Chain A
Amino acid sequence: MMMLTTMRRFLLLALCAVPHLARAQIRASEVGTVSQTIDGTKISLEYSRPRARGRTTLFGTSAVRWGETWTPGANWATTLDVSKNVKLNGHAVPKGKYSMWMVVRQDGEWTVVLDPQSHRYHMEPPDSSDKQVRFAARAEAAPFTEVLTWSMPELRMNGGTLVMQWERARVPIDIEVEPTLVMTLPASDAEAYLGSYSYAELDSAGKPAKSMTFTVTHEDGTLKGRWDPEDPYFKKFALIRIAPDWFVPGVYDKNGQIYEVLKPEMVFEFTRANGRAVSLVVRDEDDHIDATGTRKP
C-alpha cells in the first residue's frame, strides 16, 4: 500500500513537472474558442467540438435526444462569457460567465439556457432555476456540418449574430451590446450647427492645402456632414456627439448602417458665437489640427 501511494505521488509529481506532456492529448472533441469585441463589449465562447464521425443524423438520436437539455459542445459544458450586459435574442443577459445549454426540439423553437454555474460537465445539465437566463431560438435547416461550430458571421456596430451549426441544424442568436455612443441628436441641439462652412485641409506646416465646402444637415434624427466635392470614403457621414460641440464621424455602409467611427482619430470641434457654431477645427488623435472651417455667410 505504501509502495502504491509513493508511486502515485511520483506520477503526480512527474505530471506536474512536465505540464506540456500532460496537455498534449488528442481529443475526440477538441477545444475551440470564439471571441469577439463589439463596441467595447467582449463576447467569448469556449467549447469542445464534437465531430459527426460518420453519423449522418445526430439530433433526435441517442447522441442528442429530442427534449434533452444539451450543451452545444461536448465534455465540459460550453461557456459564454460577456464583459458587459448584453441582450441575446432580445433577452437581457447580465455580464458574467455562464454554462450554455439548449433544449432541443423536433418541432418548434429550441430554448437556450444560460446557467450561472459555468463549470458543469455535459452529463449534468442544470435544473431550471430563476437565476438562469432562458430564451427561445430558432433552429434552421442548413448544409451538413461535420464539426460542431460556433461562429459570428455577422457584425454590426451595436451587435451581431452568434451561430451554432452541427449536423443539419443552424441556430442563430442575435447579440445586442450596450452602445457607448448615441447616434441621434435632437433637432433643437442640431440647429446651432446646420449650414455650410468654408473648409480647408492643412498641410504639415499648418497651411491650407485643399479647400472645399463642408455642409452640416440634420436627417432622420442624426446630425450629418459631407464635403463638396464629395469624399468617396466618407460620402455623407454621421456626426456623433461625444462632448459639448465635439463630434466624431460615423461612416455608413451601403445598407445605411454605421460600420466605423473614427474616434479618437478625427474630432470635429465647433466654436460658437451667440449660441451658433461659427467655426470648427478637426483634430486627430495627436491633437494636431488637420482642417479648419468657417461658417459661410
Chain B
Amino acid sequence: MPSSLSRRRFLGASSAAVAALLVPWRNAWAGTVGPHPTPRQGITGANVLTKEQLADAPDVIPLFDSIRQIPEVVDGIRCNCGCTNPPKFYSLLSCYESDGMARHCALCQGQGKLAVRLHTEGKTLDQIRAAIDAKFG
C-alpha cells in the first residue's frame, strides 16, 4: 500500500502544484464553493477542446472526448477546485473549454472522470452532484 500510495499522492500533488503555478487564481483543494449551476438550455460540447487542441496533452484526450458527449450533465456541476472566478467560467464544463484548464488540473480531471463514470452507470445529475460533493467538496 505505501509504495503505490506515495507515488500516487506525489503525482497528484505534483499535478495540482503545476496547475496552481500555471493558473494562479486557482485555489486547489479549496473545497465547496457555492451551489451547483443549472445546465444552460441548449448547451453543447462544441467548445470542448479537440484532440488537435490537446496535442501537448494526449493522455487527457479520451477524457475530453467523454466530456464532449455529456455537456448537459457536466454543465450542471460546480468545479470544486476554486476555479469559479475566471472570466466566462460557468461550470465544470468550462474547465474543458477555452484555455482547457482541465488539461493540467487533477481535480477537474477527477471530477470529470467521476461524472462520466456515474453517468454511464445511469446516475442522475443530482446523484452525480452528491457524489462529487462527497469526494471533492
Contact = CB atoms under 8 A, between A and B. Distances in A.
Interface of A: 40, 201, 209, 212, 227, 231-234, 242-243, 246, 262-267, 284-288, 290-291
Given A231-B2, A232-B2, A266-B5, A284 B12 contact: yes
A284 B2 contact: no
Given A242-B135, A284-B12, A290 B106 contact: no
30 contacts: A40-B31, A201-B1, A201-B4, A212-B1, A227-B1, A231-B2, A232-B2, A233-B1, A233-B5, A242-B134, A242-B135, A243-B131, A246-B135, A262-B9, A264-B107, A264-B110, A264-B135, A265-B5, A265-B12, A266-B5, A284-B110, A285-B136, A286-B106, A286-B109, A286-B113, A287-B113, A287-B114, A290-B4, A290-B8, A291-B1
A290 B8 CA distance: 9
A16 B5 CA distance: 53
A286 B12 contact: yes
A137 B128 CA distance: 46
Contacts of A232: 2
Contacts, number: 58
Interface of B: 1-2, 4-5, 8-9, 12, 31, 106-107, 109-110, 113-114, 117, 130-131, 134-136
A231 B1 contact: yes
A286 B110 contact: yes
Given A243-B134, A267-B135, A285 B1 contact: no
Chain B CB within 10 A, most for which of A266, A286, A288, A290: A286
A267 B117 CA distance: 15
Nearest to B2: A233
Contacts of B130: 243
A258 B106 CA distance: 25
A290 B114 CA distance: 15
Contacts of B8: 265, 284, 290
Which 9 residue pairs spanning A and B have beta carbons closest together? A243-B134, A287-B113, A242-B134, A285-B110, A231-B1, A264-B135, A287-B114, A40-B31, A286-B110
B117 A287 contact: yes
Nearest to B16: A285
